[in-house]
Amino acid sequence: MLPVLAAAKEESGNFLVTPGLGLMVWTLLAFGITLYLLKRFAFPKIQDGLDRRQRMIEESIEQAEQTRADAQKLLDDYRARLAEARLQAEEIVERAQKSAESYDREAREATALVIAEREAQATRDIEAETRRAIAELRREVADLTIAATEKVTRQTLDSDGQRKLVEDALSELDFASLTGDRTGN
């Protein structure tokens, strides 16, 4: 049995190293038929699947680029609006500051005007009151002068005489010091 095993080993080893012509023809024929069938039926379907996959990837890439472009456009629009909003806010703040300054200036001017008017009115009131007080003082001086003259002369003067006597006495008095007039008038 030993020689049979050795011969079988030799044949099986030779078979792989030196194939026979018939086996080679059948192998090539089976490979050609398989290649033809694959090319005829399987490869077009595989190619269609690969083409669909490629189109889907290209569409996804185009869609992603479009989405990115839209997002960039929205971002640019947002930035432009933000810059515009900042400018508007700065303008509003500037107008508010100018308005506040204007209001403050107007309020100061109005206050100064009211103060000046009140000072002028107070001066007019003081002058009027001074004139009234001087007129009242003149009347009292005239009455006192008439009373003193009657006592001194022991006679009653008529109205023309009284008037002349009062006017002479008043012309001698200096009322300028009472009115604050230092010019001597």
The per-residue pLDDT for range 117-146, each reduced to its tens digit, is 999 999 999 999 999 988 888 888 877 777
- With vertex at residue 151, the alpha carbon angle to CA 149 and CA 156, rounded to the nearest 5 degrees, is 70
DSSP-assigned states of every residue in 17-58: HS--HHHHHHHHHHHHHHHHHIIIIIHHHHHHHHHHHHHHHH
Note the pTM of the prediction, 2 decimals: 0.38
User: Average pLDDT of the chain?
Assistant: 83
- At 153, list the tokens: 């002369």
pLDDT score, position 185 = 44
Q: What pLDDT is stored for residue 148 in this prediction?
A: 75
* Greater pLDDT, 115 or 4: 115
Confidence of residue 38 (pLDDT cuts 50, 70, 90): very high
The domain locations on the chain are 46-179
Confidence band of 97 (pLDDT split at 50, 70, 90)? very high
Residue 11's SS3 state is helix
